[in-house]
Chain A
Amino acid sequence: MFCVEAKGERMPVQRIDLPQGTLDLLILRTLALGPQHGWAVSERVQQMSSDVLQIQQGSLYPALHRLERRGWIKARWGTSENNRRAKYYELTKTGHRQLEAEKDAWEKLTAAVAQVLGTA
């Protein structure tokens, strides 16, 4: 579970519990573009979602560690653009497969929900 907040609305805090694994999907999708460190992942997610989704940055790391433990991503230490030591994550083979599967499932789900909402 992680929290997103609609941008601009600070108070009262409107918290939505997104389905388990949605953050995982976003992370996997981001890493599919190439190895990244944590900060870059969070920036990229924000960028790609046109700043609509803002991940509470703290919840990103437990998700990364969880994905690593599952073997979908792997970590190695590298050097960042400004010559700092940074932990880079990249997608593994099973991670790629997982991404495809989850994307597929997500698309089916949203299509179905959209259809229901459209016809109602």
Chain B
Amino acid sequence: MLCDLFIRIRSLFFRGAVEGELDEELRFHLEHQVEKYIRSGLTREEAVRRTRIEFGGLDQVKEHCREARGVRFVETLAQDARYGLCMLGKSPGFTAVAVLTLALGIGANAVVFSLLNGLVLRPINVPGGKDIYQIEQGKEPSQSYPNYLDIRDRNRAFDGVAAYEIERAGLDTNGTPDPIWIYETSGNYFDMLRVQPFLGRFFHLSDEHGFNSSPYLVLSYGYWQSHFQGDRGVIGRVVRLNRHVYSIAGVAPPDFRGTEIFYSPDVFAPIVDQEQIEGLNSLTDRGNNTTWLVGRLKSGVTVSQAKADLDSIAAVLIKAYPKNDEGLHFALGRPGLVGDALGGPVRAFVAALMLLAGLILLAACANLGSLFSARAADRWREVALRLALGSSRGRILRQLLTEAVLVSLGGAALGIAGSIALLRALSAWQPIPDSPINVPVSPDAMTYVFALLLALLSGLLFGLIPVRQVMRANPYQGIKQGSDALAGMRRLSVRDVLLALQIALCAVLVTSSLVAVRGMVRSLHSNFGFDPRNAMQVDTDLSMSGYSGDQLPVVQRRLLEAVSGIPGVTAAGIANRVPLNLGWTGSSVYQDSTTDYRPSNKAADAIQYSVSPGYFEAAKTALLAGRTITWDDSKDATRVGVVNREFARKVFGSEQNAIGRFFKVGGGTRVEVVGIVEDGKYKTLSEDPQPAMFLSLLQSPSKHTCLLVRSNRGPEDLGPALERTLNGLNTGLPFTISTWDRELGTALFAARAASLALGVLGGLGAMLAVTGIFGLGAYTVSKRLRELGIRIALGARRKEVLAAALGRVFRLLTFGSAAGLLLGLAATKLLSFIVYQATPYDPLVLAGVVLTMLLLGLLAACIPAQRALSADPLILLRED
């Protein structure tokens, strides 16, 4: 087919020459034919006329010749695109609405897809990242360090298993410690992940020689940039981490943020130095599950083989350590989102968002489909003319599709630009102050390709909607009757179905966002078991200045007494952590009669706090019976605890007889119940009542220090006073001071983010509903303006005119909204997993949805209704 190729290429690239030859060839034919007729006795005029009739349309013949030469596709495309741009330019309003509608749809999808890509699809950012798995214990991500060592040494399925923990610490380069977030990692962490240092070296397994033996730190690239100004001489520099001497071994590469997507550390430190860094060593305790494990699967080993391998290790451990490892079960999860603990909900939520975004795009397509089919109807005369002039239906369809695709590409460009801006902001956003949490979701090539494909697909989708219209077209009718040929209102047109569908989709979105927002509002006003208003929170960690052991309560008491002396302070107390903060400490609780402390014998799993005297007053947690912790509950006194109602119910069967009774915590320590407080929220807002116990801070000391200060002064006033007082104590500690309300943002983060995302999608849906209703309303009115004018002239009342003009639109609105509401109610069951108290069976939500849809309908129908009412019969009748 060399000849074919040659002709195609020649036609394409030597278009001028080829066209000239074609002209010459056809002219030759026509002249000969004319001469023939003249020779047969016709006049010249008659000869030319007959020749032309016999030959057919010259331009059509040329077009068919070009087609036969096979270059038509590219040429036609360019021609269609030019013509399409010209036609779109002629109706800028239509074009703007169409492009914007699609930009919203594509933009929403690009953003959500980036989330999906960044959080779910993309493996963690290390060489061969898809082989990295998190080794979990059941559904919890944490393991004990001794078990880690056993897994590391006994497994046959992994190329390496590394351990890490996330901790706070104080890094001290020139006097005062800077509070930072660290990963304590096993020596093989970097080697297993196959990451190369940006500068210097990493620490290795060979650097570990028992506990507290590896005095090396690795800086993250970000921290190196922000705190060492990218100084290359930093390698080998001696710094102090929680007062202990370390040397900086290296800097991690810029794109390495550790193995948790949301938590990027400032510094990596060896886990074997945990005792030094944290002041206590949990590495020898097989019952202390605080370490997270990641492993690299050996090539050729399947996931199920790895699971079997882990199962056999678990069996060995259960046999050897029944006390701690009874019922031990390992599982493999995707790394990056605290195993499946966070991964499950995040994945479900992002998938749900993707679905909603898909619905938005579908609604946008329905919207554009009806716009385009209205436009095709309006351009009926043009289409008819082109058909009559010999254009093929295929060609006209292609032209319409080209216009649709042009619009969709424009929309995609705009949508992608918008989503890039949004995603950049999202990636830079730190939702929780003083914590390394952020959402790294920069768009990548995948996102662009996805958005482009979506745009083309939706362009074809809504571009194809008017196809039937064109295929039915009859040019004779079209030219005779003009655009009215299609105006005969059939009972139910494609446009009606599309509008109803679109309204239903929008109602789904509005319903789910209202349910989410309502749930948010409810959860903000529910009883937390404490009152975050008018209270300030001061965070510090005593180990950052090297305090440990018996020094801890002494320093804490000094802090407390100093703060209590500030004028206006009504209550102050210290806890090792406050409820609804990041993380919690869970403990197994046993009956007083229990002597065998294996997991199956426990009476409850309770959340454990260590609190100072004054804590309950400062937190405003109501004491229901007994007393709170006092300074007399010291190290040498009987161990005491205050428990909540749920604890009392669960461990002692009732609240009444709990006071004065004993329970046991891990290892058999007896604790006497001295008081009962109200239930509250501890881990998350959506949790069921949990047993909680508050032990004496003097008896269970903690370096984590969370100071709550309640006062009748405003935070802007109290904040500086607190800072002056605390720094005046010369403890060398760094303090983070903020209001408790603000700190509580952490617990509400997930719900807030979810509500925000749903709110935005709901807003988009509402906008699409407005443009859709407006579009169809305006179109109907403009089609029937003459009829309406006549009605008005014949004395129809305003109500009747409106009913005639927009009755159909409102019927569609009602039907669509009802369908959407029902669907939305079914769909929001999903939501209740994320948003606390998200129940759709709430009269306020139902009324809200109905009202919103009604308002949207009124808003959108406002302008067309005005136009219908102002139809002036005189002008209208004169016009046509």
Chain A: residues with CB nearer than 8 A to chain B? 37-39, 42-43, 54, 56-59, 61-63, 65-66, 68-71, 74, 80, 84-87
The answer to whether A87 touches B24, judged by C-beta atoms less than 8 angstroms apart, is yes
Q: Does B64 contact A (CB under 8 A)?
A: yes
Residue A37 contacts which of B28, B65, B68, B69 (CB distance < 8 angstroms)?
B28
Q: How far is the CB of B73 from chain A (nearest CB, A)?
A: 14
Residues of chain B within 8 A of A84, CB atoms compared: 28
The answer to whether B60 touches A38, judged by C-beta atoms less than 8 angstroms apart, is no
The residue in chain B whose Cβ has the minimal distance to the Cβ of A56 is B56
CA distance A7 to B555 in the complex (A): 116
Interface string of B328-341 (1 = CB under 8 A from A): 00000000000000
Residues of chain B within 8 A of A87, CB atoms compared: 21, 24-25, 28
Which of the listed residues B26, B29, B69 has the most CB atoms from chain A within 10 Å of its own CB?
Answer: B29
Residues of chain A within 8 A of B69, CB atoms compared: 65, 69
The answer to whether B28 touches A39, judged by C-beta atoms less than 8 angstroms apart, is yes
CA distance A116 to B3 in the complex (A): 41
If over half of B's interface residues share one DSSP class (helix, strand or loop), that class is named, otherwise mixed; here it is helix
Q: Does B70 contact A (CB under 8 A)?
A: yes
Complex A-B, nearest 5 residue pairs according to Cβ-Cβ distance, in ascending order:
A58-B56, A62-B64, A71-B3, A65-B68, A66-B68
Residue B25 contacts which of A57, A61, A70 (CB distance < 8 angstroms)?
A61
Given contacts A56-B55, A71-B3, A85-B24, 18 further A-B contacts (CB under 8 A): A37-B25, A39-B28, A57-B29, A58-B56, A58-B60, A58-B61, A59-B56, A59-B61, A61-B26, A61-B29, A61-B64, A62-B64, A62-B67, A62-B68, A68-B7, A69-B4, A69-B68, A71-B1
Q: How far is the CB of B12 from chain A (nearest CB, A)?
A: 13
CA distance A80 to B31 in the complex (A): 13
Residues of chain A within 8 A of B8, CB atoms compared: 69
Q: Does B57 contact A (CB under 8 A)?
A: yes
Residue B3 contacts which of A39, A62, A69 (CB distance < 8 angstroms)?
A69
The answer to whether B68 touches A39, judged by C-beta atoms less than 8 angstroms apart, is no
Residues of chain A within 8 A of B852, CB atoms compared: none
The answer to whether A61 touches B61, judged by C-beta atoms less than 8 angstroms apart, is yes
Q: Does B231 contact A (CB under 8 A)?
A: no
CA distance A43 to B25 in the complex (A): 15
Total cross-chain contacts (CB, 8 A)? 72
Residue A39 contacts which of B7, B29, B58 (CB distance < 8 angstroms)?
B29
Q: How far is the CB of B24 from chain A (nearest CB, A)?
A: 7
Residues of chain B within 8 A of A66, CB atoms compared: 68
CA distance A63 to B68 in the complex (A): 7
Residues of chain B within 8 A of A71, CB atoms compared: 1, 3-4
Residues of chain A within 8 A of B67, CB atoms compared: 62
Q: Does B54 contact A (CB under 8 A)?
A: yes
With contacts A56-B54, A69-B4, A87-B21 taken as known, whether A39 is within 8 angstroms of B33 at the C-beta atoms is: yes
CA distance A87 to B60 in the complex (A): 20
CA distance A56 to B56 in the complex (A): 7
The residue in chain B whose Cβ has the minimal distance to the Cβ of A81 is B32
**26 A-B residue contacts at CB 8 Å?**
A37-B25, A37-B29, A39-B29, A54-B54, A57-B54, A58-B60, A58-B61, A58-B64, A61-B25, A61-B26, A61-B29, A61-B65, A62-B61, A62-B64, A62-B68, A65-B68, A65-B69, A68-B3, A69-B68, A69-B69, A70-B4, A71-B1, A84-B28, A85-B24, A86-B28, A87-B24
CA distance A84 to B28 in the complex (A): 8
With contacts A39-B29, A57-B29, A87-B25 taken as known, whether A69 is within 8 angstroms of B7 at the C-beta atoms is: yes
CA distance A64 to B24 in the complex (A): 15
Residues of chain B within 8 A of A57, CB atoms compared: 29, 33, 54-56
CA distance A80 to B8 in the complex (A): 27
Interface string of B4-41 (1 = CB under 8 A from A): 10011000000000000100111011001100100000
Residues of chain A within 8 A of B21, CB atoms compared: 87
CA distance A57 to B8 in the complex (A): 24
CA distance A80 to B65 in the complex (A): 22
The residue in chain A whose Cβ has the minimal distance to the Cβ of B3 is A71
Residue B32 contacts which of A39, A54, A85 (CB distance < 8 angstroms)?
A39
Residues of chain A within 8 A of B56, CB atoms compared: 56-59
Residues of chain A within 8 A of B58, CB atoms compared: 58
Residues of chain B within 8 A of A85, CB atoms compared: 24, 28
Which of the listed residues B32, B36, B57, B70 has the most CB atoms from chain A within 10 Å of its own CB?
Answer: B32
CA distance A38 to B61 in the complex (A): 13
